[in-house]
Amino acid sequence: MRARLLLSCLTALAVLALPSVAGAHWRVRPHRAVCTDVVANGLAHCQADVVTDGQGTPAAATGPSGYGPAQFHSAYGLPATAATRQTIAIVDAYDDPTIASDLNAYSTQFGLPQCDAANPCFQKVNQNGQARSYPRADSGWSLEIALDVEVAHGICPNCKILLVEASSASMSNLEAAVNEAARLGATEISNSYGGSEFSGEKTDTAYKHPGVAVTVAAGDGGYGSFGFPAASPYVVAVGGTTLTLGTGGAWAGETAWSGGGSGCSSYLLGQSWQTSLANWSLSGCGTKRGVADVAADADPSTGAAVYDTTRYGGRSGWFQVGGTSLSSPLVAGIYALAGNASSTAYPASLAYANTAALHDVSAGSTGSCATLMCIAGAGYDGPTGVGSPIGLGAF
Euclidean distance between CA atoms 348 and 320, whole angstroms: 29
5-14, 191-200, 298-307: segment of lowest average pLDDT: 5-14
pLDDT of residue 26: 76
- What would the mean pLDDT of 278-289 be, rounded to a whole number? 98
- What would the mean pLDDT of 19-46 be, rounded to a whole number? 77
| Residue 222 predicted with pLDDT over 80 | yes
Euclidean distance between CA atoms 166 and 175, whole angstroms: 8
Torsion of CA 306, 91, 89, 340, to 10 degrees: 100
Q: Which residue has the higher pLDDT, 242 or 42?
A: 242
Q: Which residue has the higher pLDDT, 18 or 229?
A: 229
pLDDT of residue 40: 73
| Residue 49 predicted with pLDDT over 60 | yes
- What would the mean pLDDT of 40-53 be, rounded to a whole number? 93
pLDDT > 70: percent of the chain: 93
The pTM of this model reads: 0.94
SS3 for the chain, per residue?
CHHHHHHHHHHHHHCCCCCCCCCCCCCCCCEEECCCCCCCCCECEECCEEEECCCCCECCECCCCCECHHHHHHHHCCCCCCCCCCEEEEEEECECCCHHHHHHHHHHHHCCCCCCCCCCCEEEEECCCCCCCCCCECHHHHHHHHHHHHHHHHHCCCCEEEEEEECCCEHHHHHHHHHHHHHCCCCEEEECEEECCCHHHHHCCCCCCCCCEEEEECCCCCECCCCECCCCCCCEEEEEEEEEECHHHCEEEEEECCCCCEEEEEEEECCHHHHCCCCHHHCCCCCEEEECCEEEECCHHHCEEEEEEEEECCEEEEEEEECHHHHHHHHHHHHHHHCCHHHCCCCHHHHHHCHHHEECCCCCECCCCCCCCCECCCCCECCCECCEECCCCCC
Euclidean distance between CA atoms 378 and 54, whole angstroms: 36
Cross-strand partners of 32:
50
- What would the mean pLDDT of 75-88 be, rounded to a whole number? 97
Burial label, 68 (beta-carbon count in 10 A; 0-12, 13-18, 19+): buried
Residues 339-382: tens digit of each pLDDT: 999 999 999 999 999 999 999 999 999 999 999 999 999 999 99
Euclidean distance between CA atoms 136 and 130, whole angstroms: 15
Cross-strand partners of 295:
239
Residues 304-346: tens digit of each pLDDT: 999 999 999 999 999 999 999 999 999 999 999 999 999 999 9
| Residue 18 predicted with pLDDT over 50 | no
pLDDT of residue 12: 42
| Residue 241 predicted with pLDDT over 90 | yes
Cross-strand partners of 190:
90, 215
- Residue 30 Rama label (left phi>0; alpha psi -120 to 50; beta): beta
- What would the mean pLDDT of 17-22 be, rounded to a whole number? 43
Residues 146-181: tens digit of each pLDDT: 999 999 999 999 999 999 999 999 999 999 999 999
State the pLDDT confidence band at 39, using cuts at 50, 70 and 90.
Answer: low
250-253 contacts at long range (C-beta below 8 A, 24 or more positions apart): 250/74, 250/75, 251/74, 251/75, 251/76, 251/77, 251/359, 251/390, 252/24
| Residue 125 predicted with pLDDT over 50 | yes
Average pLDDT over all residues of the chain: 94
Residues 178-221: tens digit of each pLDDT: 999 999 999 999 999 999 999 999 999 999 999 999 999 999 99
Q: Which domains does the chain have, with CATH numbers?
A: 2-389 (3.40.50.200)
pLDDT of residue 2: 44
State the pLDDT confidence band at 20, using cuts at 50, 70 and 90.
Answer: very low
